[in-house]
Amino acid sequence: MSVLIKGGRVITAADDYVADVFVEDERISLIGETLDVTADRVIDAAGKYVLPGGVDPHTHLDMPFGGTVTIDDVESGQTAAAFGGTTMHVDFIIQPKGSTFAEAVDEWRAKANGKQVIDMGYHMAVTDLKEGGTLEELATLPDQGITSYKLFMAYKGAIMVDDETLFRVMQVASDTGALVMVHAEHGDAIDVLVREALERGETEPKYHALTRPPETEGEATNRAIQLARVAGCKLYVVHVSCAESVEPIQIAREKGWDVWGETCTQYFFVDYTFLERPNFEGAKYVYTPPPRDKANHDVLWTAVKNDVLSVVSTDHCAFLWDGQKSLGRDDFSKIPNGAPGLENRVQMIHEFGVRGGRITLNRMVELLSTNPAKYFGLYPRKGTIAVGSDADIVVFDPEKRVTISSATDHSKSDYNLYEGTEVTGTPEVVLLRGNVLVEDGELVAQPGIGQYIARSRFGEELRPGLAVA
Ligand code: URP
Ligand code: ZN
Ligand code: ZN
């Protein structure tokens, strides 16, 4: 199947020009001013942007968490992603306590079997090195295409690791070239604050934020940075939410240390006051780190503009408000942490980042596609529009007006963080390796079309045909 995308404005992290893009055998084979070729399918992209498919490196699909399981499985989560212009994501395997890493990989791959709508890879979240997984086994994962290890420095009593585990994994990463990702919060201090709040009878959703002050994020971010320097590994700090965490990352990057940071769409738009909404509405915004004071929104926009933070992900971790979040109606610490977002990342960053004059179109592509592809060993197969790259392409209509709503989105969650927000600009046609996934507001491809992608290491190229051993 060949596809000719005619006359669109091709935007990459570096370029911005009008061209025809020709796709054969799932890859981009020609780009030119006016291509004289015959194609099975011609898409008129005049007046539209032609963007590389979004790459979301931070999602949680079909994940047991907080006493329940996230409501979006691989099929519904990836369908939401496809409608939103994301064609590749990297999900977290959470090592079940007592399981080997091989068992964990098998379990997570089975969840995706036959359901994939877009391409995907995995990070390995290490929870237990005492029984099951060993450091020796962890060292084998990058050769299987799992080239990032994740450590939770919070969620005490569940998936939090101690500093010894964190440091030992960093040492393995230094040997194997894997990227270490941290959820940076001081889990022990938060645990004390949560117990004290509950003893005082403070049970409402807002106490989720009040027991996780920004200093706990700043402290853990700095601790992880310093430990990564000792171990000599590359570090990526996920879901940065506040100035206290931005500052140590900025210092590390100015000093040239191997440290990168990510924020998520919601941290630009949701603030602490959302948690105070009455009638348990605040529970919709219980995710971790929590929504912060509004002043942090500008801090984060500046950080993504100046490359202090280099990626915007979603941390899509969707639950039902009615039925799952309600587990914590009488105790905020029992509200499952997480929120949906996969479908609206490109729309929201385009509307308030690009149209709002905060970042350029090129920087938007870099934050949502190119940088995540580079850091997670997918570039240049993913993350750009170039000859030889996978034809993961979004034909984006910059004029179309859309009102975001849970009634029309594709997540199984019963709410949307951005309910009622009006945006101008939305994906019109979405292609995965040259196959049309979304068109005319419909999913036109069958689940099963998405593939597992074995990733290269940070800094190593990934091209089709380059096998990961
Ligand atoms: O609240 C969140 N973010 N849930 C998902 C797990 C995590 O910490 O990323
Ligand atoms: Zn986290
Ligand atoms: Zn997460």
Dump pLDDT digits (tens) for 96-138.
999 999 999 999 999 999 999 999 999 999 999 988 899 999 9
pLDDT (0 to 100) of residue 423: 98
The residue nearest atom 8 of ligand 1, judged by CA position, is: 288
By the 8 A CB rule, do 336 and 71 touch?
no
Determine if ligand 1 sits within 6 Å of the CB of residue 185. Answer: no
Determine if ligand 1 sits within 6 Å of the CB of residue 183. Answer: yes
Question: Which backbone phi and psi does 69 adopt, to 5 degrees?
Answer: -130, 135
User: How far does the chain reach from its first CA to its final CA, in angstroms?
Assistant: 29
Q: Which atom of ligand 1 is nearest to the CA of 288?
A: 1
Determine if ligand 1 sits within 6 Å of the CB of residue 208. Answer: no
pLDDT at 176 over 90: yes
Q: How confident is the model at residue 463 (pLDDT cuts 50, 70, 90)?
A: confident
Other beta carbons within 10 angstroms of residue 451's beta carbon come to 16
pLDDT at 312 over 70: yes
> Tokens 């086994």 identify what position?
137
How far apart are the CA of 59 and the centre of ligand 3, in A?
6
pLDDT at 468 over 80: no
For residue 184, give the ligand nearest its CA: 2
pLDDT (0 to 100) of residue 467: 56
pLDDT at 166 over 60: yes
How far apart are the CA of 340 and the centre of ligand 1, in A?
11
- What would the pLDDT profile of 343-352 be if each residue is shown by its tens digit? 999 999 999 9
pLDDT (0 to 100) of residue 104: 98
pLDDT at 465 over 90: no
- What would the pLDDT profile of 382-431 be if each residue is shown by its tens digit? 999 999 999 999 999 999 999 999 999 999 999 999 999 999 999 999 99
Of the chain, the percentage scoring pLDDT greater than 70 comes to: 99
Q: Which atom of ligand 1 is nearest to the CA of 286?
A: 1
Residue type, 185: E
How far apart are the CA of 87 and the centre of ligand 2, in A?
22
pTM: 0.98
Determine if ligand 1 sits within 6 Å of the CB of residue 66. Answer: no
How far apart are the CA of 315 and the centre of ligand 1, in A?
6
Structure tokens that stand for 46 in this block: 């005049």
- Of 10-19, 127-136, 211-220, which gets the smallest average pLDDT? 127-136
pLDDT (0 to 100) of residue 156: 98
Determine if ligand 1 sits within 6 Å of the CB of residue 317. Answer: yes
How far apart are the CA of 104 and the centre of ligand 2, in A?
19
The residue nearest atom 3 of ligand 1, judged by CA position, is: 288
**Alpha carbon distance 106, 208 (integer Å):** 34
Residue type, 321: W
- What would the pLDDT profile of 265-305 be if each residue is shown by its tens digit? 999 999 999 999 999 999 999 999 999 999 999 999 999 99
B/e letters for 218-236, b = 16+ CB within 10 Å, e = fewer, are: bbbbbbbbebbbebebbbb
Ligand 1 pocket test target in 58, 60, 313, 413 with most atoms within 8 Å of CB: 60
- What would the pLDDT profile of 45-80 be if each residue is shown by its tens digit? 999 999 999 999 999 999 999 999 999 999 999 999
Say whether 358 sits in a helix, a strand or coil. Answer: coil
Ligand 1 pocket test target in 337, 342, 413, 417 with most atoms within 8 Å of CB: 337
- Tell the burial category of 399 from Cβ atoms under 10 Å away from its Cβ (0-12, 13-18, 19+): exposed
Q: Which atom of ligand 1 is nearest to the CA of 60?
A: 5
pLDDT at 469 over 60: no
pLDDT at 13 over 90: yes
- What would the pLDDT profile of 194-203 be if each residue is shown by its tens digit? 999 999 999 9
Mean pLDDT over each residue of the chain, to the nearest integer: 97
Ligand 1 pocket test target in 63, 317, 319, 334 with most atoms within 8 Å of CB: 317
The residue nearest atom 6 of ligand 1, judged by CA position, is: 338
pLDDT at 187 over 60: yes
Ligand 1 pocket test target in 155, 245, 287, 319 with most atoms within 8 Å of CB: 287
pLDDT (0 to 100) of residue 464: 76
Determine if ligand 1 sits within 6 Å of the CB of residue 412. Answer: no
CA neighbours within 13 Å on the CB side: how many for 427?
32
Contacts of 407 (CB under 8 A, 6+ apart): none
pLDDT (0 to 100) of residue 199: 98
- What would the pLDDT profile of 429-461 be if each residue is shown by its tens digit? 999 999 999 999 999 999 999 999 999 999 898
Of 59, 78, 67, nearest to 323 by C-alpha is 67
pLDDT (0 to 100) of residue 184: 99
Contacts of 275 (CB under 8 A, 6+ apart): 205, 206, 208, 209, 282, 285, 286, 290, 291
The residue nearest atom 2 of ligand 1, judged by CA position, is: 338
Q: How confident is the model at residue 466 (pLDDT cuts 50, 70, 90)?
A: low
pLDDT at 363 over 60: yes
Q: Which atom of ligand 1 is nearest to the CA of 238?
A: 9
By the 8 A CB rule, do 431 and 81 touch?
no
Determine if ligand 1 sits within 6 Å of the CB of residue 58. Answer: no
